[in-house]
Amino acid sequence: MQRAIRALVRKTFGKNHSMKTEASVITMSVCVGFLVVVMVYLSSLLIYYAGREKQVDYAENLIVVNPPESWRQFTVEYQDIFYENVAGESSMMVYREWDAVYDVFTFNEWMDDYDAFLTIVFPTDFDEYVMKKNVTELPEILTYYPSDHPEYATIQKNFCDEVLAENYLAFIQEKTGVPIEYTSVVESRVTPVGKMSSWKQVIFDRGSRLIVPLLFFVAILYVCMLSGMNAIAGEKERGTFAALLMTPVSRWTIVLGNYIGVFLHALIPSAVMLLPVAIFAKFTGFISAFFLVISLALFISAITILISCLNHSIVSAQTTFLPIFLIILVICVTCMQEATRNPVNPYLPIYGHFYGIGDGLMNTVSPLPVLVCILGTLILTGICLFVSERVLHKESFTVAVETKSERELRKAARALEKQKKDYVSVSRAEVFGYKAKRRKSLPAFLLGHAMLPLALLSLFQPFAMIPAIISYMKSPASNGFIRMFKDISNVSALSDVMDASVKLFSGFMQDKYFILFMGLGYWCIIGIYIAIVKFREKNPLRTLGFASFATSEKADPDNTEGLLPAKQGPAWKAYLRGILLGFILISSVYVLLLFTGQVQCRGFSLEKDSVILFLLYILMWIPQGATEEIMMRGYMMPRVASRFGLPFAIFFSSMCFSLMHAGNAGFSILALINLALIAAFFAVFAYRSGHIWTVCAMHTMWNFCQGNFFGLEVSGNPGSASILSSTYPDGARDLLTGGAFGPEGGLCVTIVIVLAFVILLLSGKRKTAKV
């Protein structure tokens, strides 16, 4: 048996084991990418620390924001208590004024600048409020502390318990003579403000706790995957495994021989990396790290052998292993966060390995968790090997069974028959010359189409909001908004929060950066759609509705439904036509509103200050209109039409478009219908013209004129930086004007769009008659 095992081990080091597959290349790139991200993160930390001039162990000072008079008196009178519980002799108290009491960004900066360990924030009207004789509840006092030393949290707690809750409260009661209940002091943690002793120490600490364990993991995982999958699954794939099974060696021998081979492979990188560890770590630390690495290699090798036994080819084995690989990496990432380190984790395999290796390097190792972790790992390893051996007794995992049952054959024949009739072979309707190439299951198809626009918008819009949110947090207006979250548990408070959020978002519409980044985000989305069509579908851009006009001429004779051929001309002419049509459409709505007395025009209103915002708006509406058209009409409509026919495609894309706006302020049933009508109008228009250039421009112009020309709301978002100023007089009725949603929520738009629709359909018929 020993001889056979030796032979098998040697075999794992044979030439076949350098074989690389697609899956292993992907995994390799994932590993490298992962390491790069971690490195970038760490180097950003290092730059942060290295750039700091102060190298003080602990922060010393205290910041008090909006200090009320009573506080100043208190600190003078009760100096002893104050310094005993909170600060040292050399501490300094810094007084600052700031209206936005939840502005963590500013407090963070201050604590950094003043070298402070605590920030106490009073509401601006604290004293006036407290001095009201009938007050029984103290207003909220906020405390912020940096999170890099656990001691700061203790100080903060001490401060809240001893100073604020007891002495300061008593002090105020004494002054006002009314018993006051101390209820709410919000504990806020500010991250990341760090004050480590020296940045060299930071490098060493982070390096040995994060990087080194991670390197061990990645190296062992990768090497085990390569050699483990080649060992048995590779033999099966090459057809050489049966020869092995025919020899008189037992299944145990086969499993053990391959297992030891894989393990030895894993030891090579481990040994290389353990050498530097031996130099830096102390003896006990090194020993524990050594055994942890060995047990990790044993465990991962056993997993790979088990997976190898279960699969018939290298790629399938690697694909099976990939989720395990990623789960282990995710565990590593969670281990990298201090916050997740709980008392149980170090005893568990994988977690324990990650912590243990880092602890070993930093010489802070505790033997019990390491021992328990290694023992657990060995048991798991044994189980894996046992199952592997059992698996090799099963025919289905050893000899490839090629005989298919008749039922399977019939099933395959039926599927083929079905394929001949399905949408990829026979397109239900061809829009923009699109023909489906790939099959997708029905739920995946519909969900994919419905979710893609949502996913992209919700990816890019939050990015655009970041600068706006930060500047909002720095304004006092944010205080009220954040307070609302305190009693969010009851329903009415929740709806308040929702309303306030919607209002807040409307406020962002006046933020220059928000508009700018929104515009950039829309360009990105357009880019993504183009990439999807070009590189994933491998279709020409014409199928996205961007007909170059040579092709659209060609496409028109195929227009079997007898709809009008597009007015020919270069793309920019089509776009200009869209601008004009869009202007006519929205102006008709405005004129209708004006004549029915639902809106009053107050004349020109664009001020000098808002010229830049106005220009940014124009730059934003151009990609915005185009993006929504590309999503709904350019991409979704042809693809849905090819599977379900044109009517359903128009209905589906219009409903998607309409529902996408459901979260906007003032959304109503009428708004839903109107938006769907507008969408359907654009859809039919785009379908007839054979491209989306014109509707892109129409959409852009429609939104721009509503918001920045007439000064009305655009789908629930208030217009700003508008050329004209419009107001609703007292007699205006929401049914006509659409209320907070803007004209799109009112009957006037319904009338105009229905009229436009009728004209579009009639003009189509007339032209066909000519053709």
Shortest reach from residue 5's CB to other proteins, in Å: 10
Cα–Cα nearest to 262, from 9, 72, 485: 9
- The residue from 401, 416, 442, 769 that contacts other proteins (CB under 8 A) is 401
- Residue-wise burial string across 142-173, b where 16 or more C-beta atoms lie within 10 A, e elsewhere: bbbbbbbbeebeebbeebbebbbeebbbebbe
In the complex with other proteins, the residue whose CB is nearer, 5 or 120, is 5
Residue number, 247 or 425, with CB nearest to other proteins:
247
**Least distance from other proteins to the Cβ atom of residue 400, Å:** 8
Is residue 242 a contact residue for other proteins (CB under 8 A)?
yes
Stretch that binds other proteins, among 12-20, 326-334, 548-556, 701-709 (CB under 8 A): 12-20
Decide: is 770 part of the binding site for other proteins (CB under 8 A): no
* Per-position DSSP letters for 318-352, written without gaps between them: HHHHHHHHHHHHHHHHHHHSGGG--SSGGGSTTHH
Closest to other proteins by CB, 230 vs 653, is 230
Residue whose C-alpha is closest to residue 732's, from 628, 596, 640, 624: 596
Question: 241-247: which pairs have CB atoms within 8 A and are 24 or more residues apart?
Answer: 241/398, 242/398, 242/399, 245/398, 245/399, 247/4
Select 76 or 246, whichever has its Cβ closest to other proteins: 246
Q: What's the CA gap between 669 and 682, in Å, rounded?
A: 20
* 141 three-state secondary structure: strand
Of 14, 382, 462, 663, the one binding other proteins (CB under 8 A) is 14
The long-range contacts involving 327-336, CB below 8 angstroms and separated by at least 24 positions, are 328/217, 328/221, 329/34, 329/217, 329/218, 329/221, 332/213, 332/214, 332/217, 335/213, 336/38, 336/209, 336/210, 336/214
- Which residues, including other chains, have CB under 8 Å from residue 598's CB and lie 6 or more apart? 728, 729, 732, 733, 736, 737, 746, 748
Residue 233 CB, nearest approach to other proteins (Å): 14
Smallest distance, Å, CB 407 to other proteins? 8
Cβ proximity to other proteins: between 230 and 610 the closer is 230
Q: Considering the complex, what minimum distance in angstroms separates the CB of residue 413 from other proteins?
A: 14
Distance CA 530, CA 532 (A): 5
CB 430, min distance to other proteins, A: 42
At its nearest, how many Å lie between other proteins and the CB of residue 230? 11
390 binds other proteins (CB under 8 A): no
Q: Is 412 in the site for other proteins (CB under 8 A)?
A: no
Is 7 a binding residue for other proteins by CB under 8 A? The answer is yes
CB closer to other proteins out of 264 and 378: 264
CB-wise, 5 or 736, nearer to other proteins?
5
Of positions 40, 50, 92, 245, contacts other proteins by CB under 8 A: 245
Stretch that binds other proteins, among 63-71, 178-186, 237-245, 692-700 (CB under 8 A): 237-245
In angstroms, give the least distance from the CB of 15 to other proteins. Answer: 4
- What's the Cα-to-Cα distance from 459 to each of 464, 526, 627, rounded to whole Å? 10, 13, 14
Instruction: Kindly state whether residue 399 participates in binding other proteins, applying the rule CB under 8 A.
Output: yes
Using CB under 8 A, which of 398, 539, 642, 700 touches other proteins? 398
In whole angstroms, the minimum distance from the beta carbon of 418 to other proteins comes to 23
Q: Minimum Å distance from CB 397 to other proteins?
A: 12
418 interacts with other proteins by CB under 8 A = no
Contact flag: residue 248 with other proteins (CB under 8 A):
yes
- Which residues, 6 or more positions from 462, have their beta carbon under 8 angstroms from its beta carbon? none
Bridge partner residues of 190 (DSSP): 146
Neighbours of 564 (CB within 10 A): 19
Q: How far is the CB of 408 from other proteins (least distance, A)?
A: 8
Nearest to 355 by CA among 339, 380, 335, 333: 335
Give the residue, chosen from 89, 97, 174, 406, that forms a contact with other proteins under the rule CB under 8 A: 406
450 binds other proteins (CB under 8 A): no
CB of residue 26 to other proteins, shortest distance in Å: 23
Site mask, other proteins, residues 335-354, x = CB under 8 A? --------------------
Separation CA 217–CA 482 (nearest Å) = 42
Asked if 669 touches other proteins (CB under 8 A), the answer is no
Rule CB under 8 A: choose which of 164, 249, 260, 273 binds other proteins: 249
Q: Cβ contacts of residue 669 below 8 Å, gap of 6+?
A: none
Q: Who's near 433: CB < 8 A, 6+ residues apart?
A: 540, 542, 543, 551, 555
Question: Do residues 269 and 307 make contact, with C-beta atoms less than 8 angstroms apart?
Answer: no
**Residues contacting residue 219 through CB under 8 Å, at least 6 positions apart:** 269, 270, 273
What type of residue is 722?
S
* Cis peptide bond prior to 369, omega within 30° of 0: no
Q: Which of residues 248 and 557 has its CB atom nearest to other proteins in the complex?
A: 248
Beta-bridge partner residues of 141:
185
Least separation in angstroms between CB 259 and other proteins: 16
Residue pair 500/481 in contact (Cβ under 8 Å)? The answer is yes
Least Å distance, CB 231 to other proteins, is: 13
**CA 405-406-408 angle, 5° bins:** 70
Measured from the CB atom, is 51 or 248 closer to other proteins? 248
197 three-state secondary structure:
coil
Minimum distance, C-beta of residue 234 to other proteins, in the bound complex (Å): 10
Half-sphere exposure (CA, 13 Å, Cβ side) for 525?
31
Q: How far is the CB of 235 from other proteins (least distance, A)?
A: 8
**Minimum CB distance to other proteins, residue 399 (Å):** 5
> Judged by CB under 8 A, does residue 89 bind other proteins?
no
Tell me the site size for other proteins, rule CB under 8 A.
33
Contact 470, 109 (CB under 8 A): no
Q: Select 14 or 476, whichever has its Cβ closest to other proteins.
A: 14
State the Cα–Cα distance between residues 352 and 361, nearest whole angstrom: 14
Q: Which is nearer to other proteins, 200 or 410 (CB)?
A: 410
Q: Are strands 61-65 and 93-96 parallel, antiparallel or unpaired?
A: parallel
DSSP state of 709: I
Minimum Å gap between C-beta 263 and other proteins is 20
Of the pair 180, 315, the CB lying nearest other proteins is at 315
Q: Strands, E, within 637-703: which ranges?
A: none
Distance separating alpha carbons of residues 521 and 517, to the nearest angstrom:
6
Contacting range for other proteins; rule: CB under 8 A; set: 3-11, 24-32, 189-197, 428-436: 3-11
CB nearer to other proteins: pick between 197 and 240: 240
Cα distance between residue 771 and residue 763, in whole Å? 12
Given the structure tokens 């026919």, which residue do they identify?
645
Quick one: how many helices (H) and strands (E) in the chain? 32, 7
When asked if residue 404 is in the footprint of other proteins (CB under 8 A), the reply is: yes
Among 64, 100, 244, 305, indicate the residue that binds other proteins (CB under 8 A): 244
Binding residues for other proteins restricted to 15-44, rule: CB under 8 A: 15-16
Stretch that binds other proteins, among 1-9, 264-272, 427-435, 749-757 (CB under 8 A): 1-9
Where does this chain touch other proteins (CB under 8 A) — which range of 327-335, 377-385, 396-404, 686-694? Answer: 396-404
What is the x/- site pattern for other proteins, positions 195-234, by CB under 8 A? ----------------------------------------
By CB under 8 A, name the binding residues for other proteins: 3-4, 6-8, 10-11, 14-16, 238-240, 242-250, 395-396, 398-401, 403-407
